[in-house]
Amino acid sequence: MARGPFSDGLLAPLDAARSAALRRAGPWLGPFFADRDRRVLWLGLSSVAVAFVATGAAPLWLLLLGPLLLGVPHLLSDVRYLVVRPGLHRDGWLMVGLGAPLLAVTLGANPAVGVLAAVPAVLSAPRSRRRAPALAVAGALAVAAWANADGFQLIFVHAHNLVALALWFFLRSRPASHAWVPLAALAGSGLALAGALDPLVTRFGGWSAPATGLDFGELVVSHADGLEPTLAARAVLSFCFLQSVHYAVWLRLIPEDARPRRAPRPFAASWRALVHDFGAPALAAVAALAVGLAAWGLLAPGPARDGYLRLATFHGYLELAVAARWLSQGRLA
Q: Which residues in the 187-206 window bind other proteins by CB under 8 A?
A: 195, 198, 201-202
**23-52: contacts with other proteins (CB under 8 A):** none
Selected range binding other proteins among 2-10, 96-104, 176-184, 284-292, rule: CB under 8 A = 96-104
**101-160: contacts with other proteins (CB under 8 A):** 101, 105-106, 108, 111-113, 116, 119-127, 146, 149-150, 153-154, 156-157
Using rule CB under 8 A, residue 208 touches other proteins: yes
Q: Can you give the three-state secondary structure of the chain, one letter per residue?
A: CCCCHHHHHHHHHHHHHHHHHHHHHHHHHHHHHCCHHHHHHHHHHHHHHHHHHHHHHCHHHHHHHHHHHHHHHHHHHHHHHHHHCCCHHHCHHHHHHHHHHHHHHHCCCCHHHHHCCHHHHHHCCCCCCCHHHHHHHHHHHHHHHHHCHHHHHHHHHHHHHHHHHHHHHCCCCCCHHHHHHHHHHHHHHHHHHHCCCHHHHHHCCCCCCHHHCCCHHHHHHHHCCCCCHHHHHHHHHHHHHHHHHHHHHHHHHHHHHHCCCCCCCCHHHHHHHHHHHHCHHHHHHHHHHHHHHHHHHHHCHHHHHHHHHHHCHHHHHHHHHHHHHHHHCCCCC
Q: Return the number of the residue (29 or 227) whose C-beta is nearest other proteins.
A: 227
Q: Which of 169, 170, 167 is nearest to 319 (CA)?
A: 167
Total interface residues for other proteins by CB under 8 A: 74
Using rule CB under 8 A, residue 169 touches other proteins: no
- Shortest distance, CB of residue 25 to other proteins, whole angstroms? 29
Q: Return the number of the residue (53 or 273) whose C-beta is nearest other proteins.
A: 273
Using rule CB under 8 A, residue 219 touches other proteins: yes
Residue of the chain from 12, 100, 186, 251 that contacts other proteins (CB under 8 A): 100
**289-318: contacts with other proteins (CB under 8 A):** 302, 305-313
- Shortest distance, CB of residue 157 to other proteins, whole angstroms? 5
Residue of the chain from 38, 85, 252, 265 that contacts other proteins (CB under 8 A): 85
Residue of the chain from 32, 69, 144, 215 that contacts other proteins (CB under 8 A): 215
**What single-letter amino acid sits at 182?**
P
Sequence-ordered list of residues with C-beta below 8 angstroms from that of 242, at least 6 positions apart, any chain: 158, 161, 162, 185, 188, 189
Residue of the chain from 213, 255, 265, 267 that contacts other proteins (CB under 8 A): 213
- Shortest distance, CB of residue 98 to other proteins, whole angstroms? 9
State the binding string over 231-260 for other proteins (x if CB under 8 A, else -).
--xx-----------------------xxx
- Shortest distance, CB of residue 2 to other proteins, whole angstroms? 21
Using rule CB under 8 A, residue 79 touches other proteins: no
- Shortest distance, CB of residue 28 to other proteins, whole angstroms? 31
CA-based radius of gyration for the chain: 20
- Shortest distance, CB of residue 299 to other proteins, whole angstroms? 15
Using rule CB under 8 A, residue 220 touches other proteins: yes
